[in-house]
Amino acid sequence: MHYVNPEALVSTGWLAEHMEDSDLVIVDASFFVPGGTAPAKEKYAEGHIPASIYFDINKVADPDAEQDHTMPSAAVFGVKVGALGIGNGSFVIAYDAMGGGCAAARVWWMFKAFGHGRVAVLDGGFAKWKAEGRPLTQEITEKPAKTFAASQEALDQVLSKADILANIDKPAYQVVDARSAGRFAGSDPEPRAGLKSGHIPGSRNIPFGTLFNADNNTFKPASSLAADFTDAGVDLSKPMATTCGSGVTACTVALAAHLLGKDDVAIYDGSWVDWGSDPDTPVTTGTAD
């Protein structure tokens, strides 16, 4: 069994060979929980892949939203990524501290949602690049601004709390939670203060970290990924929505599904920050039903 959409990933070897491509834009999309982008920027300053620019998901976001890194409008996205030097002809390679679990997959999903197909995630991420002894730099790259015209249809792939509430009584989506098994069950505390423990009733659990090979943070082979979905009770032939803590690792599950050929995955953008902070939302504990 092979990936249906292997172009969503590039290897460290491929990137090393294509560093000088004129249309290539490399972005470091690292994001940590807890901490967010602040510690990620510090790590970027200490050393990063040459010519890469830091992609702050909290800035390429809806400026009026209460929650961090909320999906922006097409107009805002176009202005923000254009200012980074990304145009419609750019081939964007996103990497993070893992292989796609620390916001590289979120960046991949955002570009795809806004109609930009020339985007991929560095398989294995920064850790694999560094472990292989490949070059690092502290030099900050600044690119001239470009024009980026984003599709207006992106928000069709973003679900709200109202959508998820309606889905409980009349299921239209299989809801897949990317948080750890302990957080899903409610046995482990949430890393963000003030949130309830447990999960959305009827949801399934695929902890995003289980999608990677443990030795190098690359995505597991297609057959293993397919088994992860099957074992969680998820049918890839049916509509699916993913959720997580704040809308980041939900995109890692969406990327894994895309590798297997599933392109119709919606994201609950507010995720558990939105759901778990509302005293009126229903919560279930324990394993999936």
- What residues are annotated to the active site? 244
Cα distances from 108 to residues 7, 124, 186, 202, 285, in angstroms, run 12, 15, 30, 27, 31
Instruction: Give the DSSP letter of residue 210.
Output: G
Please say whether the beta carbons of 125 and 97 come within 8 A. Answer: yes
List of residues 6+ apart from 25 with CB closer than 8 A: 53, 84, 85, 86, 90, 91, 92, 93, 143
Element (H, E) at 166: helix 161-169
Query: For residue 93, which of 118, 114, 116, 121 has the smallest C-alpha distance?
Result: 121
184 φψ region: left (φ > 0), alpha (ψ -120 to 50), beta (else): alpha
The SS3 of residue 101 is coil
Selection from 269, 223, 264, 278 nearest residue 250 by Cα: 269
